Structure 1
């Protein structure tokens, strides 16, 4: 991309770590390009694996493309490249494709009025937010566990104590399920900050917790937890990610969540964490907390309570 004038390149990226990396490269980054009243000669797309989300992204790409412009997409072969190429062909017609380095790149014909307008309208709504779980929450394709309660989070919710109080945080809050459980179960919580790297999930959480606005002060932080958090808390709950967006295992991310939680908790503060049973978190837990215990296990997951040690007071000198 360095051969092109980067000042003319607008990057849409709703995942905070990736957005920050693009910004460090000197690029203009926004969470949603639809908020700009602009159309582009070229729209570059890296479609996700979730097909409804990918089709919606193709539709949005066409909507952002200027007349005569081109949509260019790239997908690795093991992430649905052939399906993605077929989808763009169905929507707008293909101008060409090539394969290299286990990837497929393909592009539309110059866009005019020839694309399928009905299909465009249908696909535009495929990743729209919608009610799930009998209307209890709103969610959308592409968000983690978007149409269900993740079983690990459900197990953690079952083991949350009713005496949580003061100011808390939910690290990796998703669409807000765990935060809703905390607020529903613990009457003495006065404030709760939700930290989430995916902006689309955080927007959903804001909607899903609207009914609790009078119960506690709520904060919504589009934030990469691995960089640390800026405040101190009485308690923290977390179902941390343990893989990248390409599904590669990354236990180091979970370990970093634990270390950040330890830094952010006040002395005596409590962390309630759920994790895959096999993940090697014990070393960082034992190094960072005074007390650590497993509260429950099921379906390959474990719930851990970790309490931050209270520094012992050194004896003072006798007054003369």
Structure 2
């Protein structure tokens, strides 16, 4: 799959405007792709990625990858996300992880905030060198004269914080980070209180749906909270702490589409239908359904909410003994699908 922002990020090295340091580099929010293979020596490159599918892709490609760390390097590459507070925090993190005299290089698509991203970059690091290509901007500067006070303020923007009158903890960039997603709320409202045994929440985000399962279904004895984004999973862990004395909780940093490691009596999910960079991916929902079908015990139930137009019915017919439409509201549908005995 093409990755224009990654292609643009490597331009200064392809054009020899920047030299790759012998001491190596650090790549924050790293993504695997052809440009990285072509222009980034693997020796000395440390990649950081908290989103499990991208993390695993980098690992399979042979790169050194970690979810988070404290390494510093003379060159720090970064692909800032669209959400501005999260992006500012990541730029501040890049400055903090740059060795003395080192350089920060960032790339963003034009339609995902490149202009404001460059403005933030220059507010933090001073005037930047800029190239435009692939409908993206790449900008770079030495970190020597970075605004330390601004970097400190921006770095704190990624910290988990209270939301919704302090009832929950979340952070910028997590899905529906400062609100309750209406699709998840619809699913929660229609869950049967008779759900019991060992369940899982696939794509749990910051933990709203898991919390509703535990509050509404007293016969649940164990719940696996499964999430691909470690930053979200950390918030879910904090939000579900009050239930830990009654229910066995497992927090699993996993790519659901790669399969699940346990068997369940029930599964709830509000599966994603966009990829990390925002492109439509209805196949992700189908992969979640397939993973759930494989992981459910005979007679176990999948409770799913999705946009009404997403064509998941063939999957239910193929992988489950029965499926029923529980509710339709606000463009969403709730489905219960039962695995055959």
Normalized against structure 2, the TM-score is what?
0.87
1:71 matched to 2:104: yes
1:90 matched to 2:90: no
Which residue does 2:17 correspond to in 1? Answer: none
Which residue does 1:314 correspond to in 2? Answer: none
Distance 1:173 1:246 in 2: 19
Which residue does 1:81 correspond to in 2? Answer: 114
Which residue does 1:211 correspond to in 2? Answer: 242
Distance 1:9 1:201 in 2: 26
Task: Tell me, yes or no, if the aligned pair for 2:130 and 2:138 is still in contact at 8 Å.
Answer: yes
Cα deviation digits, residues 246-286 of structure 1 (max 9, x gap): 22211111011111111111111011000000000000011
Which residue does 1:262 correspond to in 2? Answer: 293
| SS of residue in 2 equivalent to 1:125 | helix
1:176 matched to 2:224: no
Residue of structure 2 aligned with 1:238, choices 241, 266, 269: 269
- Give the deviation of 1:4 after TM superposition: 4.7
- Structure 2: gaps of 5 or more residues: 1-35
Which residue does 1:103 correspond to in 2? Answer: 136
- Give the deviation of 1:215 after TM superposition: 1.1
- Structure 1: gaps of 5 or more residues: 311-320
Distance 1:277 1:175 in 2: 24
| SS of residue in 1 equivalent to 2:81 | coil
1:166 matched to 2:197: yes
Structure-to-structure mapping, 1:227-306, within 5 angstroms: 227-306=258-337
1:57 matched to 2:90: yes
Which residue does 1:224 correspond to in 2? Answer: 255
Distance 1:140 1:4 in 2: 31
Count of residues in Structure 1 that have an aligned counterpart in Structure 2: 305
CA RMSD of aligned residues (A): 1.1
Residue of structure 2 aligned with 1:125, choices 149, 156, 166: 156
Which residue does 2:13 correspond to in 1? Answer: none
Distance 1:104 1:261 in 2: 40
Which residue does 1:45 correspond to in 2? Answer: 78
Distance 1:4 1:157 in 2: 46
Distance 2:135 2:248 in 1: 49
Bigger radius of gyration: 1
